[in-house]
Amino acid sequence: MNKIVKLTIVLFLVCAIVAGVLGVVNAFTKDRIEEQNRIKTEKAYAAVLASDNGYTEVSFDKTAFPTVDSINECNNGAGWVVTTTFSGAQGSITMAVGVDTDYKCTGISIISHSETSGLGAVAASTSQAGMDFRAQFVGQDEAIALTKAGGEINAITGATITSKSVTEATSVAIKAAESLG
């Protein structure tokens, strides 16, 4: 019985020390991480729909579009950037979708994901396959679909779930922008 108590106390102390160290590291890096995420989001916005004058967040019906995080109108009148978080094959994917005033996709940029390397992660990669996949979305409207479903988007080989999720999220983003009128 005495050994169990000693082991419990030692394990508790190790966990408390590790938790304390993680808490201190988090406190020191929190601002830097937030800044890096802000920069990454700005780059994603610029990649899908550039605006020299910036963007203004607009209100929308969140209940009608639960996966949409925000809609930002380009201050130059070029359209909207819709940020959406949805489920992929391995977890959540956060993506920016550019929508022009004709309600056509101007581009997509994946901000964060937890997809499998070499498969679903290709959708966000800077490889030729990733760029080719994302390029297919330009000019598409809300009826966007994978070729398997009668559309024009070729799925990433071995990543059908991710491809389908990105395609469906793009359609939702376009519909959300359309709902603004």
Rounded CA gap, 181 and 179, in Å?
Answer: 5
The answer to whether residue 77 scores a pLDDT higher than 90 is no
Rounded CA gap, 32 and 23, in Å?
Answer: 15
| Full DSSP string of 118-169 | TTGGGGGSSSHHHHHHHHTTTT--TT--BGGGTSSBPPPTT-HHHHHHHHHH
- Which whole number is the average pLDDT over 154-158? 86
Quote the distance between the C-alpha of residue 70 and its chain's center.
12
Residue 18 one-letter amino acid: V
The answer to whether residue 119 scores a pLDDT higher than 80 is no
| pLDDT at residue 52, as a whole number | 78
- Which whole number is the average pLDDT over 40-69? 90
Three-state DSSP class for residue 112: strand
The answer to whether residue 158 scores a pLDDT higher than 90 is no
Q: 53 falls in which pLDDT band (50, 70, 90)?
A: confident
- Angle (CA) 163-169-175 rounded to 5° is 140
